[in-house]
Structure 1
Amino acid sequence: MASDYKFQGWLGLDKDSVKGNMKWQSYEPKSFEETDVDIKITHCGVCASDLHTLRSGWGPTDYPVCVGHEIVGQAVRVGKDVPTGIKVGDRVGVGAQSGACHNQNGDCESCADGMEHTCKYSTDTYNSKWPDGSKSYGGYADYWRGKYSFVVKIPDEIPSDQAAPMLCGGITAFHPLVQHNAGPDTRVGIVGLGGLGHFGLLGAVKALKCKKVVVISRTATKKADAMKMGATDFIATDEDEDWAQKHASTLDVIVSTVSSHKMPLEGYLNLLARKGTYVHVGAPEDRIPPFSMFSLIPKRASIQGSMTGAPRDIRSMLDLFAKTGVRTWNNNVPMKDANQAIVDQEAGKARYRYVLCHEDHIKEVKYN
């Protein structure tokens, strides 16, 4: 069955596209297979990854590229071999990853362990390749096509505009807390109160009921918002004198969401308690600062990296967020204004996530 709709979206044609120069054009998606799902997009979150990719910040981008990997919409075509119960008309979403080998190559430990998001044969939602060699295209568009594997149903309790950013930003910041068993006895630090950080804060406070949740930022500009979200304390590293010493050894888990390489990393590590863990989820384009190993050795502390989550992790998070009332603080923007949205994102104006909405679905409201 051929589709009667065209695939059109905002395409970045070169590095200057990040300056608000994306072009609305048609493109050819992958050939439809019976394990695929087509989504008519209603909402797509704007992620910092989109900007890194548009400007080739993490390496050369395969232009033209359609970014956007926080996609929510309606399933309009479902292959007959899709086994997950998704049917035409369902409200579904897809995040930063769209495909994995699921151990079909026989040597992928990640898929064998249920950690498909770390599969070495993975297909990213955009700027990547499907197994047949065709390009993957993202959600700044009318439609999305891809494998069923990473398509998830959206709980009825969560509006689409709030659900979209959870599919990358939400799982990226929340998954490390789950991995480290954060709960009522855990003292958590969140570095950076942005699109990622606000999910870490809300998840730690509302979903996991953590004992202590401290936001760490350069200045106190966002302190009022942090406290409104439920933070128990706030550290402004550029303004609070001797902050690393005053708060030394007070946190069990730190999730760092910042993408700047100009970070006081050794100071962050000083905040870790015995056996504490620093987890970095932000992805700077340059190398991070050096630090002394004595920030870790005497306390048996550790540094880890983390990215997104497997489909089962995303489903579990959405269910928990639905039950505990975690909601995105977002500003909705018409899809036609995507170029302005990425310029404003780059300028740090988001409070705390921009969501592109097709005009029939936009609500002029900020959720907080």
Structure 2
Amino acid sequence: MTTVAAYAAPAAKAPLERTAIERRAVGEFDVLIGIEFVGICHSDIHQAREGWGEAIFPMVPGHEIAGVVAEVGPGVTRFRAGDRVGVGCMVDSCRACANCAAGLQQYCTGGGPVWTYNSIGKDGEPTYGGYSEKIVVDENFVVRIPDGLSLDVAAPLLCAGITTYSPLRHWNAGPGKKVAVVGLGGLGHMAVKIAHAMGAEVTVLSQSLRKKDDGLRLGADQYHATSDPKTFEELAGTFDIILNTVSASLDFAAYLSVLRTDGTMVNLGLPEEPVQIGLQSLFGHRRSMSSSGIGGIPETQEMLEFCAEHGAGAEIELIGAAEINEAYERVQASDVRYRFVIDTATI
């Protein structure tokens, strides 16, 4: 085992602090990664503050990991020392169920995936995430970061990128399709970039017009304020796909009204409290309400190649580890454009 420095939440809602954790020895099929950058995802905050229910503490968050391979086990065939790699939200799964066989490890039915942190690994030990110097991961859950992406802007793609790419691919975003993105934050700004790169017509639906210039610069064709009731009247029956990237309760009837017949609203954010949806909103135009969870390993690799080809890295604000707690507060206040990324050299 190896001792590495990390930042952890010692208890629910407690400030994160510098600590030391143990990483397992490199096994036959393991990859030891020297972490260089790790993104701060809103789900890190939900979990560190136990907003989604009981959690495991101490907790080392971080599932948007980019770094360089330092060592590989003797059975590893896909990577070697010096490779630029990433790790996302999962570090294992059953690998035997139909979903795992289809490359949909995020929907593993054989006990569920082993999450990168706040989970229990197959060895019975808690998993610790990327707010740390190094991590050891089975090669099957490591992806290659293309040379066309710098590691700092690639890190958020391991969650924000794949979480938006997967539903856009699944619901066939592309030329001739109209896509609305609810919220222009960490997820939303990547949804705009990716949908635009796919050739769709993209509209941002945000509470205000405060970020309109950014939205248009990132690839949106239109930008509307949802605080204006006329927005929903003007856009009624417009969109094929709505990607809801916010983790708050919405007036779902209003948003569903702007879908075309057979349109789908895909929810990516996960509010901490239950939400209510009137089924009347779905009748009449065969509209659908759905959701999507990250993406499997093959699709994550596909997404990275796509983003490299289209120059679609994340918009980031690079911070030192000592700024993590302040960054959490700023994320809660929507005061980031558009993803905080920790330089792990500062840990």
Query: Does TM, scored on the shorter chain, surpass 0.5?
Result: yes
Give the SS at the match of 1:170. helix
1:335 corresponding residue in structure 2: 321
Q: Does 1:111 align with 2:100?
A: yes
Gaps of at least 5 residues in structure 1 are: 362-368
Give the SS at the match of 1:298. coil
RMSD: 1.6
Alignment partner for residue 196 of structure 1, among 187, 204, 223?
187
Question: Higher mean Cα deviation, 186-195 or 226-235?
Answer: 226-235
User: In structure 2, what residue type is equivalent to 1:214?
Assistant: T
1:208 corresponding residue in structure 2: 198
Alpha carbons 1:29, 1:135 under 8 Å: kept: no
- Cα deviations by residue, 1:258-312 (Å, 9 ceiling, x for unpaired): 0012x12111100110111110010110112332x23222111111110110111
Q: Distance in 2 between matches of 1:156 and 1:37?
A: 19
Output the TM-score relative to the length of structure 2: 0.96
Q: Distance in 2 between matches of 1:31 and 1:129?
A: 17
Q: Distance in 2 between matches of 1:179 and 1:137?
A: 31
Alpha carbons 1:140, 1:338 under 8 Å: kept: no
Q: Distance in 1 between matches of 2:208 and 2:25?
A: 49
Alpha carbons 2:327, 2:340 under 8 Å: kept: yes
Residue 146 of structure 1: how far off its partner (Å): 1.9
1:266 corresponding residue in structure 2: 253
Alignment partner for residue 291 of structure 2, among 305, 315, 322?
305
Give the SS at the match of 2:85. strand
Q: Does 1:125 align with 2:116?
A: yes
Alpha carbons 1:30, 1:136 under 8 Å: kept: no
Residue 29 of structure 1: how far off its partner (Å): 2.8
Q: Distance in 2 between matches of 1:217 and 1:347?
A: 15
1:8 corresponding residue in structure 2: 5
Q: Does 1:248 align with 2:236?
A: yes
Residue 61 of structure 1: how far off its partner (Å): 1.1
Alignment partner for residue 34 of structure 1, among 11, 23, 28?
28
1:281 corresponding residue in structure 2: 268
Q: Does 1:219 align with 2:218?
A: no
Alignment partner for residue 230 of structure 1, among 194, 219, 238?
219
Mapping 1:20-59, distance limit 5 Å = 21-59=15-53
- Cα deviations by residue, 1:306-343 (Å, 9 ceiling, x for unpaired): 01101111111111111112121111112332222222
Alignment partner for residue 245 of structure 2, among 245, 250, 257?
257
Identity of aligned residues (%): 36
Q: Distance in 2 between matches of 1:270 and 1:149?
A: 42
Residue 241 of structure 1: how far off its partner (Å): 3.0
Question: Higher mean Cα deviation, 53-62 or 223-232?
Answer: 223-232
Residue 27 of structure 1: how far off its partner (Å): 1.4
Q: Distance in 1 between matches of 2:56 and 2:26?
A: 22
Residue 358 of structure 1: how far off its partner (Å): 2.9
Output the TM-score relative to the length of structure 1: 0.90
Alpha carbons 1:74, 1:88 under 8 Å: kept: yes
Q: Does 1:177 align with 2:168?
A: yes
Residue 28 of structure 1: how far off its partner (Å): 2.1
Alpha carbons 1:45, 1:71 under 8 Å: kept: yes
- Cα deviations by residue, 1:49-70 (Å, 9 ceiling, x for unpaired): 1000110011111100100000
User: In structure 2, what residue type is equivalent to 1:182?
Assistant: A
Alignment partner for residue 282 of structure 2, among 296, 316, 326?
296
Give the SS at the match of 2:23. coil
Gaps of at least 5 residues in structure 2 are: none
- Cα deviations by residue, 1:118-138 (Å, 9 ceiling, x for unpaired): 113310000001111011100
1:94 corresponding residue in structure 2: 87
Residue 360 of structure 1: how far off its partner (Å): 7.7
Q: Distance in 2 between matches of 1:222 and 1:157?
A: 27
- Cα deviations by residue, 1:182-207 (Å, 9 ceiling, x for unpaired): 111110000110000000000011x2
